[in-house]
A and B are shown apart, each in its own frame.
With several copies, the nearest count.
Chain A
Amino acid sequence: MKLLYFAWLKTKTGCAQETLARPDGVDNVQALLTWQQGRGAGFADGFADLTALRVAVNQEYADPSHPVGDDDEVAFFPPVTGG
């Protein structure tokens, strides 16, 4: 799966984008968020407050229960501030 990070989440994780195999047992957004929290210091910090984050699966906003699959593009970012 392809994972993307934007704004301060990119700074905290030190990662803009990565492609990796879907972790075992991770089949929805909530599970992916929990998995991110266990990846080490930068990710733990970035994903500490999940209420401060938004998730998009294949470029559409997704709830925690939304499924994620091997070929999905999943993006993590703070609430948007354009306009």
Chain B
Amino acid sequence: MIKVQQEDFDVAAELQALSGGNHKIGGVTVFVGLVRDMADNENISAMTLEHYPGMTEKQLEKIEQEARNRWPLENSLIIHRYGRLAPGEQIVMVATASPHRDAAFDSCRFLIDWLKTKAPFWKLEETPDGGKWVDARASDDAAAERWRKLS
């Protein structure tokens, strides 16, 4: 399931919806990304996430489908917020549920790695010097590239 939303999300409720009542599930891996108050040695007072409505959902659905093709998943979830967020706020949640923990771990990491290089979101950080668009990181490309070799 894909959710692109401005409002916050409740990790416990989402996990309950993901795995509740399905007794084939042996492991659930979850990643939650949070807004930090510091990046590249600069203080961040807030961050605004811009996105491309329509394309975002399309890309996230493709990424999720790819994970479902690669791993034996009972369920999966991607939630990504947009709009203005303060330090400590939740940005993104990725969760995968599988009979086996290796599949749950690998697929969860795959989803967040690919999302970071494919889903059309852009971060504008509010710093003491004003707003700064975050640069894409080569390490994120490398992380996504890891998974390309598997296909």
Give chain A's interface residues, CB within 8 Å of chain B: 4, 6-8, 56, 59-61, 75, 77-83
Contacts and interface: CB of A to CB of B under 8 A. Distances in A.
Among A6, A77, A83, find the residue whose CB has the most chain B CB atoms closer than 10 A: A83
Contact of A7 (B80, B101, B124): B124
B115 A82 contact: yes
Interface residues of B, number: 30
Contacts of A79: 117, 136
B134 interface: yes
A81 to B, nearest CB: 4
A4 B52 contact: yes
Interface of B: 33, 49-52, 54-55, 58-59, 80, 91-92, 101, 112, 115-124, 133-137, 140
Contacts of B135: 81
Contacts of B136: 78-81
B119 A7 contact: no
A82 B55 contact: no
Top 10 nearest A-B pairs (CB, nearest first) are A82-B121, A79-B136, A83-B116, A59-B55, A7-B122, A81-B134, A8-B133, A81-B123, A59-B58, A83-B115
A82 B116 contact: yes
Nearest to B132: A8
A56 B55 contact: yes
A22 B135 CA distance: 31
